[in-house]
Amino acid sequence: MNKHLLTLHDWSSEEILDTLELAKQLKEEQKAGITHHHLKGKTLGMIFSKSSTRTRVSFEVGMYQLGGSALFLSANDIQLGRGESIYDTANVLSRFVDGIMIRTFKQSDVEDLAKYGSIPIINGLTDLVHPCQILADFQTVIEKKGKLKGLKMAFIGDGNNVAHSLLYGCAKVGMDIAVASPKGYECDAEVVKNAIEDAKATGAKITITNSPEEAIKDADAVYADTWVSMGQESDKEEKVKIFMPYQINKELFSLAKPDAIFLHCLPAYRGYEVTEDVIDGPNSVIFDEAENRLHAQKAVMVKLMK
């Protein structure tokens, strides 16, 4: 098993599918009231340079359910943001805790923690990728569709960290993916190149387009994310104008398969990236998806920290 979760590009198809199988098992056990203290006595350090509701609660509760404990470290609590090197931080924390989950801006911070520390590092989100979210998304798709391979995922919106991780994840599990973004807001070229390379092994088809209609056609799962990410609020007015043709409304959603599910990593802004009749409609699975962050991340922690 890979020692860290930095990006899904680093994981093999088997590692992803095994983790999803464990996530399913852990969820079933938790629902049945079975305790599973796989990480008894272990501690997860949680570094938050970017705040979050779902990431903090799901990791903290997840560690508690696994019999361990989680330590919340904001940018104000540690010296990382005030000049201490990542080399020193990684070495010191490696002596105190059994794993680190970090939610931050730069992907290089996550990579450096893994490079210099001696404990597993879990990427809770960077500006480049969001791997834990995609594992929860895949768990949700399997619950609703029974499989991943051969299905089509459509992502409509900004070519951001969620889009990047969906490209990597879909390529690894054999799921076709189409990403539609406005000109100038497409996915990172290197990520696309890596995903196309990964897809050769599984037969997944990758489509990058500026047309939301092309991307969503015959999709089994349709995905939206906020147009304005944390830290980019000053661009909001301009981005709303550019992205409005990419809004997932009933008309656009009707081009997907009739039984297509709607996914959103939340927080969502109704009336912007998605209309109420879609996100609160019968095809929406956003709260199952949010819950699965807990179970998918528990599976990651067991795989890496046990």
The pLDDT tens digits for 21-33 are 999 999 999 999 9
* Cα 129 to Cα 32, 192, 245, distances in angstroms: 33, 12, 25
Instruction: Based on the residue annotation, tell me whether 293 is a catalytic residue of this protein.
Output: yes
Instruction: Based on the residue annotation, tell me whether 95 is a catalytic residue of this protein.
Output: no
CATH of domain 8-130+292-305: 3.40.50.1370
Encode pLDDT of 220-275 as tens digits.
999 999 998 756 677 788 899 999 999 999 999 999 999 999 999 999 999 999 99
Instruction: Based on the residue annotation, tell me whether 225 is a catalytic residue of this protein.
Output: yes
pTM greater than 0.85: yes
Indicate if 133-289 has the same CATH topology as 8-130+292-305.
yes
> Among candidates 211, 206, 210, which has minimal Cα distance to 152?
206
pLDDT at 82: 65
Band (pLDDT 50/70/90 cuts) for residue 182 is very high
Superfamily of domain 133-289: Aspartate/ornithine carbamoyltransferase (3.40.50.1370)
Q: Are strands 221-224 and 261-264 parallel, antiparallel or unpaired?
A: parallel
pLDDT at 44: 98
Band (pLDDT 50/70/90 cuts) for residue 294 is very high
Contact 97, 119 (CB under 8 A): yes
Q: Catalytic residue among 132, 170, 187, 265, which?
A: 265
For the chain, the domains span 8-130+292-305, 133-289
Q: Catalytic residue among 4, 38, 133, 137, which?
A: 133
Q: Hey, what are 44's tokens?
A: 């997860």
Q: Catalytic residue among 4, 130, 164, 295, which?
A: 130
Q: Catalytic residue among 9, 38, 293, 295, which?
A: 293
Mean pLDDT, rounded, for 111-130: 97
Mean pLDDT, rounded, for 146-150: 98
Q: Catalytic residue among 109, 225, 247, 295, which?
A: 225
pLDDT at 75: 78
DSSP designation for 271: T
Strand stretches in the chain, DSSP E: 43-48, 69-74, 99-103, 121-125, 152-156, 176-180, 206-209, 221-224, 261-264
Computed over every residue of the chain, the mean pLDDT equals 95
Encode pLDDT of 49-83 as tens digits.
988 989 999 999 999 999 999 999 987 777 665 67
pLDDT at 205: 98
Q: Catalytic residue among 4, 9, 54, 103, which?
A: 103
pLDDT at 162: 98
